[in-house]
Structure 1
């Protein structure tokens, strides 16, 4: 013991070999010599491979770096603690996204409407405009007026009337012939969608012919055709067309005439039965069409939104109109109408060329079960809309819905486990192939305009 202690005392006071007397730190590899306790061989560990789920538990100290600071500030990244910004146009430019379209899903009362309104209003500061083709609950009217836009209310005895066959603003880049063909095609597609929605079935070939003939007659009788003129021409055509006499056109268009009459003399009378009494100003920061005074079935609401979206379509198809949000609130109602789904899919496909970012807001993905049969074209169109959304934002889902949502959106097991535990204002963001859990931050002024629970509670928080 004594010799060992003396040896230790001498080695602790003696200078380390290879170092100057003033250096108190040994070499990185340690001292050399028989008393250095160094291994004979260098330590080497084999490479370990594992899934991201396993590695997250083994080494939970890594977090996603975020999407950068370009675009709208949304809130706080719950995993990294940093700020979270989002801009679909900037991310598309960087190659992070393949398209600018977004899906927003979540149960009632968890803040998804507040998030949609924040994205819309904060984007206006970046020069974007916002269009809401149909607002069934009237929640966007306050928001539109607050940012200097317009909220056009339809129904409920209001004098406002829209003619869905209006040509709309004309792009400067189109020649006369091109513009005439575009307007004619747009009107024809609109009437076909309305007829299929009203009849709840696809049109027969002879019905397409009768509708074409009626539209042509309505255009010949006025500079701007109206739906009453089309209905009258279906009931009583004045001219035959190649392959069909007047009597045959009357017979073939009978069901069409009675179906479209609903927009003229039925429960939608006064909305679309004459020239427009309001104008569409594409220069406004936000335009919302308030449908809260219209009561009826989902089919009726879908027909109304078909007309209103067509009224805005001319401005949307203007490639010089800049970057715009198009927000489909309560979209679960629209997804039950195959004709309207086809129109929406076309707009989704053209979004990149037109500078449009579509935002589809639904409650849960099981609403797809109400879209046609399991193998129907309508179900395929609905799933196609989801597939054409590179950004998927999912707020809290019920436990019974989590697996279905994960399967429809292609979420990982770790992402699926997050869905039932998300708190109010928290959402799982799937941006391309990257995932984030983001806590939405709202200012006091925003909350006053966005809050949809004002009648349920008098308490408001500035963060949820």
Structure 2
């Protein structure tokens, strides 16, 4: 059979002719050793040449097409064992997961930017369910034109659908009137030349279960607090002990005479008694006349509400009745405070707040929202801050959610110097807000905003870059970037730039 030619390498046995010298024999042995080594290497397969320029440890284990064979993980044949972990571990391993939201129960706000999901919020639904959510009060801050007013109005309109009632004790720009009308609510406009009258000394209806004696004491306490707030606002100082005594005596005298006549007590009657030293001294049994002298400043302070720039609004019996069943009630004070002096606005707001407290104190009144729009205008008045603080502290017992709307976080610092009573009250209102909604802030305001709210560096940078309608929501320590979405009808109803487009 024919055979293939195959190259073989071999070495013949060593042959050394006889009678050769030692030198020739050594050379023959060396040639044999070289031939033997050559034959051994020739029998081995030729090694693959290494790739030039690539270190051995950097060479690819498998070709570009992937690992060949059944273990290539192609065709859906890859099977790995399942792995379980807690959410705390997952958040550490995957730190860029979005916040899960506050749940589906509540008022629809818009879209969670990071989670790409719907965002809902309801302070009454979150209370007792969310850790760290200790109160239903809300702070809303943002520069002009970023949509904070639209958010406040949208919350009010959508809250009515959930059975909540809305109270706006101070509407300094008259923007809530059209909203109240659309909801079938009530608006009371106060100001020079307007027919509206509110008697802040009206006695609210006695709640169910309260005795007449206890309720009479409660009404007297509220009236004294109101008179003290009005006096401190006008005098711009705290009252002296004898001035408090004069208010007590004047109020008791006024209520007694009004009861005898069958009419409600009026602020004008209290101011008249304070301006009559003889009546004060005789009522207290003070023959020296010191009480009448101490009440001179009080008499002039309350006179402003009777004969000054607020004459005709709070010195007569009420011409409107408070309907606690109305879905929305707003007090339009747009005729006041236009000359740069907010004192008249604050006085009117104090009287209106006292007038509305009858509904807030009713335990059967249901859950309500109280919205303080343009609250920055009242930050410099300690008396009103004290009334607001009382309402903030009692929000859970009263079943109300207070919403305070300001422009900048630094507005809270205008309440007074560091360590003052006003500054402490303003910062206390912020502390008692479990929800903080921050719209865009100017660059020079980021420092104060971060210090007051405890913002992180990422949150601070986010606040500086927020667009219209987008805000940072901090709810009980959790943060969300939410885009507020409006219905076309809401856009038309909440448009505050109508005059700019006309």
Give deviations 1:331-362, integer Å, cap 9, x for gaps.
11111111111111111010001100000000
Match of 1:150 among 159, 177, 186: 186
Aligned to 1:37: none
User: Aligned-pair distance for 1:368?
Assistant: 2.5
Match of 2:376 among 306, 329, 332: 332
Aligned to 1:44: none
Aligned to 1:203: 239
User: Aligned-pair distance for 1:367?
Assistant: 1.5
Q: Distance in 1 between matches of 2:79 and 2:196?
A: 85
User: Aligned-pair distance for 1:27?
Assistant: 6.7
Contact 2:413 2:426 (8 Å CA) reproduced: no
Contact 2:306 2:315 (8 Å CA) reproduced: yes
Q: Distance in 2 between matches of 1:134 and 1:61?
A: 43
Aligned to 2:196: 160
User: Aligned-pair distance for 1:245?
Assistant: 3.7
Structure 1 residues 412, 260: CA separation in 2 closer, same or farther (over 3 Å shift)? same
Aligned to 2:253: 217
Match of 2:422 among 362, 378, 389: 378
Match of 1:283 among 319, 322, 325: 325
Aligned to 1:411: 455
Aligned to 1:248: 290
TM-score under structure 1 normalisation?
0.86
Structure 2 regions of 5+ residues with no counterpart?
1-44, 49-62, 82-87
What SS does the corresponding residue of 1:79 show, helix, strand or coil? coil
Give deviations 1:147-202, integer Å, cap 9, x for gaps.
00011101141111000011123211211111101110000000000000010000
User: Aligned-pair distance for 1:301?
Assistant: 1.1
Contact 1:161 1:271 (8 Å CA) reproduced: yes
Q: Distance in 1 between matches of 2:80 and 2:483?
A: 45
Aligned to 2:443: 399
Structure 1 regions of 5+ residues with no counterpart?
17-22, 30-48, 459-464
Aligned to 1:120: 156
What SS does the corresponding residue of 1:163 show, helix, strand or coil? coil
Task: Please say which structure displays the higher CA radius of gyration.
Answer: 2
User: Aligned-pair distance for 1:418?
Assistant: 0.8
2:130 aligned with 1:88: no
Aligned to 1:421: 465
Higher mean alpha-carbon deviation, 106-115 vs 164-173, is at: 164-173
Contact 1:134 1:288 (8 Å CA) reproduced: yes
What SS does the corresponding residue of 2:258 show, helix, strand or coil? coil
Give deviations 1:268-316, integer Å, cap 9, x for gaps.
0011011101111010000000001123412221111101100001111
After the TM superposition, which residues 25-44 of structure 1 pair with which residues of structure 2 at under 5 Å, given as runs? 25=77, 28=80
Structure 1 residues 193, 24: CA separation in 2 closer, same or farther (over 3 Å shift)? closer
Structure 1 residues 253, 437: CA separation in 2 closer, same or farther (over 3 Å shift)? same
Aligned to 1:233: 273
Q: Distance in 2 between matches of 1:369 and 1:78?
A: 31
User: Aligned-pair distance for 1:64?
Assistant: 0.4
Q: Distance in 1 between matches of 2:149 and 2:80?
A: 58
Q: Distance in 2 between matches of 1:26 and 1:408?
A: 53
Contact 2:192 2:310 (8 Å CA) reproduced: no
Contact 1:393 1:430 (8 Å CA) reproduced: yes
Aligned to 1:263: 305
Question: Considering only aligned residues, what root-mean-square deviation do their CA atoms show, in Å?
Answer: 2.5
What SS does the corresponding residue of 2:204 show, helix, strand or coil? coil
Contact 1:234 1:250 (8 Å CA) reproduced: yes
Give deviations 1:71-127, integer Å, cap 9, x for gaps.
100000011110000000000031341100000000011100000000011000111
Q: Distance in 1 between matches of 2:342 and 2:381?
A: 9
Q: Distance in 2 between matches of 1:332 and 1:66?
A: 30
Q: Distance in 2 between matches of 1:28 and 1:400?
A: 54
2:254 aligned with 1:189: no
2:347 aligned with 1:311: no
User: Aligned-pair distance for 1:24?
Assistant: 9.0
TM-score under structure 2 normalisation?
0.80
Q: Distance in 1 between matches of 2:68 and 2:146?
A: 66
Q: Distance in 1 between matches of 2:424 and 2:151?
A: 28
Aligned to 1:130: 166
Q: Distance in 1 between matches of 2:172 and 2:438?
A: 22
Give deviations 1:362-407, integer Å, cap 9, x for gaps.
0001123321221101100110000000000000000110121111
Q: Distance in 1 between matches of 2:130 and 2:101?
A: 15
Structure 1 residues 3, 322: CA separation in 2 closer, same or farther (over 3 Å shift)? farther
Q: Distance in 2 between matches of 1:299 and 1:235?
A: 22
Q: Distance in 1 between matches of 2:270 and 2:80?
A: 89
Structure 1 residues 402, 232: CA separation in 2 closer, same or farther (over 3 Å shift)? same
- Runs of 4+ in structure 1 displaced over 6 angstroms? 1-4
Structure 1 residues 322, 28: CA separation in 2 closer, same or farther (over 3 Å shift)? closer
- Counting matched residue pairs gives 422
Structure 1 residues 76, 267: CA separation in 2 closer, same or farther (over 3 Å shift)? same
Contact 1:234 1:249 (8 Å CA) reproduced: no
Aligned to 2:140: 104
Structure 1 residues 92, 28: CA separation in 2 closer, same or farther (over 3 Å shift)? closer
What SS does the corresponding residue of 2:403 show, helix, strand or coil? strand
What SS does the corresponding residue of 2:210 show, helix, strand or coil? coil
